[in-house]
Amino acid sequence: MIIRQETPSDYAEVYRLVKISFATNADDDGTVPDYLNDLREKETFIPELSLVAEIAGKLVGQIVLYKTTFGKYTELLLSPISVHPDYFRRGIARAMVDEALRIAKGMGFRAVFLCGNPEIYGRLGFVPTYKYNIFHKNDESKTAEWSMVRELYDGALDGITGIIDTV
């Protein structure tokens, strides 16, 4: 498997990959591929953190991290991540996350946030944001398990608190 930076020539194939991947999700409303296309046009998009996974020349996975600001801090959001259904449970998502986080750390970022299933993302090292006194803007209970973060190094979020708005 090769994990590399996505290029504009990949966009149409990535669109199809994201559409197929998210179609397996009961909550899919069909908008994620368009969301990704729109994201690429925003100033928060970081091309170096938009990656694809290839096996034998076929795109089988995609991940993107992009900038978000909360308070005086600029960190990253992970959304979306996709793996072709024929390649589920082969470690592709984990490998893409590990590579994206390695690059992000090298770029000087401290943490990556997301909204997602704690059972899935917990296995990838993400924990609820409330454990760091960082709360999702829609989390009135201040105990949302689905608002998650992963520090890129130990202590990266020490002393940082606030409200975050993730998609």
3-state SS assignment for residue 104: helix
pLDDT tens column, 58-100: 999 999 999 998 888 899 999 989 999 999 999 999 999 999 9
How much of the chain exceeds pLDDT 90, in percent?
A: 82
- Band the pLDDT of 167: cuts 50, 70, 90: low
Q: Give the Cβ contact number of residue 82 at 10 Å.
A: 27
Check pLDDT > 70 for residue 26: no
This model's pTM is above 0.85: yes
| Residues 142 and 135 sit within 8 Å (Cβ to Cβ) | yes
Q: Give the Cβ contact number of residue 10 at 10 Å.
A: 17
pLDDT tens column, 100-149: 999 999 999 999 999 999 999 999 999 999 999 999 999 999 999 999 99
The residue type of 57 is G
